[in-house]
A and B are shown apart, each in its own frame.
Chain A
Amino acid sequence: MPYDSYLHIFLPDELNQENTEQTLTEGKQGVERNHEIQGDPSRLQSVSEKNSNGICTDNFNLSNSGSNPLPTENSTLPSPENSSSSFFPLTSMTPLMPVTPVSESSGIVPQLQNIVSTVNLACKLDLKKIALHAKNAEYNPKRFAAVIMRIREPRTTALIFSSGKMVCTGAKSEELSRLAARKFARVVQKLGFPARFLDFKIQNMVGSCDVRFPIRLESLVLTHQQFSSYEPELFPGLIYRMVKPRIVLLIFVSGKVVLTGAKERSEIYEAFENIYPILKSFKKA
């Protein structure tokens, strides 16, 4: 999937802005600044040293104009365990993860389906102006006090509020969510607002997978009463509230499992590894 890394240059991050503005004294913004400095160069760096640490799993397709100073290169193969989204974040803030987070027990890796993130553009926005001039923007102030904007790549939706706060949903990985959020911010910026990119935070991650055997939910709800609720008249799945990690799992008779409530990818994997032996013991013969 196309990865427009030119954004790092053209979208002013905190570093560039500081040269033109007053010195920022707020500690919070200082932290954000550090994050940005660390984030971008390491990302650019890892593009070139993709093979050295052996942890390159992204499919970069830098199809952009000639003005891009970055070397255009394609990365190597996708990760061995699956061909769909396994877009591991390459910033130095996140710990390096093993390429295949598969333990011996299950052999199944949950796929991320949706990431919800928020970011603060830190400036007041004129929603009407945005709706009028931006493509793919909806604004119906009588119904809801935000602009709904969509982009195709990554396929995501943003809710943009007049306060400058923005919610971004629909991405299939953390990196894509961040990328999408930056694109939305870029759109707002192009319309003349001094948009920044503060406090980007993943609020929720949803994953799903299939254990491929039917599960007897009646016995599961009986033996794990403190954690499960099963009301088939209301919802066909059993709702399992795992304590550690704090994840909610929706378990269906067919064997499909949906995991939600995670702030980090590892929580989803850990939750699934925890539930898998339990599900196996309630396999419908």
Chain B
Amino acid sequence: MNNTAASPMSTVATSSSGRATGKSTSFTLELQSMMFSLGDARRPLHETAVLVEDIVHTQLINLLQQAAEVSQLRGARVISAEDLLFLMRKDKKKLKRLLKYMFFRDYKSKIVKGIEEDDLLEDKFSNSSNVNKRQKIAQDFLHSIDQTGELLAMFEDDEIDDVKQERMERAERQTRMMDTAQYAEFCESRQLSFSKKASKFRDWLDCSSMEIKPNVIAMEILAYLAYETVAQLVDLALLVRQDMAPKAGDPFSHAISATFIQYHASSESTAACGIEAQSDAIQPSHIREAIRRYGHKIGPVSPFTSAYRRNGMTFLAC
């Protein structure tokens, strides 16, 4: 991330290692920028970013270990896209989002290759079977594990991704009020991702202790999942913050769902409340509450199952 004078991050105090770890690489600054682009305030809190970094890191390491187990099961020598896709098979919406991302990556390389003469030659050099390679991998794999046909049905399914839709609407609302300079900053922040800093990301993940390591496409997917985790955390934290905001004079405020409030906050005359909530940065407490609620599985038999027995971590990204 480039620390230009206009960047909101330049004024935030930095320490190269997060408070929880003594690692040399840290994504705190980038995370602050990412959170801003995902809906947080213009200057997200440093503590929040450190907490988010910690959470994302822990989740990714756990995910990697599970993927390594899957990889071992099928007797492979590297962790590949198939293993990660396998871990995500339970949540169709998130899987579909991941697939869309992979296909978009293929599509974008195809287009950009047609534009740049040098890219065209480079592509010819590498291998022309690179076209749509991610799509092929995903389709082949899902085909092989799909017993009921519901995974393959996803490819034809044209349903709108609600979460993505909400994020787009939030971004649109956020940018509506900005002037040109702020908007330029915002766009720059939006372009930040873990995949742009691939080598730093690899160091940060630190797979050196693992027996089986991820290959290139698996790393791409992991970078995407890291970004998705951050996005999910911001989504949830914003909901939590909305919940916490006291609405004066409304006797049923505790019973109204957060999404309802959020939807109406932008158009109602309780604009004062809305603006206050918007300008505050996300606090670490919001994040912690969001994690707590997310991990708390409420299902039909949950009153009868022990809350302390949970197999493994609840992943935000899959």
Interface residues of A (CB under 8 A from B): 113-114, 116, 143-144, 146, 148, 157, 159, 169-170, 204, 206, 214, 216-219, 221-222, 225, 229, 231-236, 239, 248, 250, 253, 258, 260-261, 284-285
Contacts and interface: CB of A to CB of B under 8 A. Distances in A.
B114 A253 contact: no
13 contacts: A157-B117, A214-B180, A216-B175, A218-B171, A222-B172, A231-B101, A231-B104, A232-B190, A234-B108, A239-B107, A250-B111, A260-B111, A260-B114
Nearest to A140: B125
Contacts of B195: 233-234
B131 interface: no
Contacts, number: 83
Contacts of A236: 187, 191
Contact of B175 (A219, A231, A233): A219
Interface in B147-194: 160, 168-169, 171-172, 174-176, 179-180, 183-184, 187, 190-193
Nearest to B179: A285
Given A206-B114, A219-B172, 4 more contacts: A169-B117, A216-B175, A218-B172, A232-B191
B2 to A, nearest CB: 14
A217 B184 CA distance: 11
B187 A258 contact: no
B117 A253 contact: no
Interface in B84-118: 101, 104-105, 107-108, 111-112, 114-115, 117
Given A232-B190, A258-B115, A157 B183 contact: no
Contacts of A116: 114, 120
B125 A143 contact: yes
Given A260-B114, A284-B180, A157 B121 contact: yes
Given A157-B121, A219-B172, A234 B105 contact: yes
Nearest to B169: A222
B124 interface: yes
Nearest to B103: A229
5 closest Cβ pairs, A-B complex: A233-B193, A232-B190, A218-B171, A218-B172, A232-B191
Contacts of B171: 218
Interface residues of B, number: 35
A148 B121 contact: yes
Nearest to A213: B180
A206 B114 CA distance: 8
Contacts of B120: 116, 169
B114 A261 contact: yes
B115 A232 contact: no
B128 to A, nearest CB: 10
Contacts of A169: 117, 120
Given A114-B117, A218-B175, A234-B193, A229 B183 contact: no
A285 B177 CA distance: 10
B104 A234 contact: yes
A15 B122 CA distance: 38
B60 to A, nearest CB: 17
A113 B116 CA distance: 9
Given A218-B175, A253-B183, A144 B169 contact: no
Nearest to A155: B117
Nearest to B194: A233
B41 to A, nearest CB: 18
A187 B174 CA distance: 59
A57 to B, nearest CB: 25
A214 to B, nearest CB: 6
B108 A253 contact: no
B27 interface: no
Nearest to A229: B104
Contact of A159 (B112, B124, B190): B124
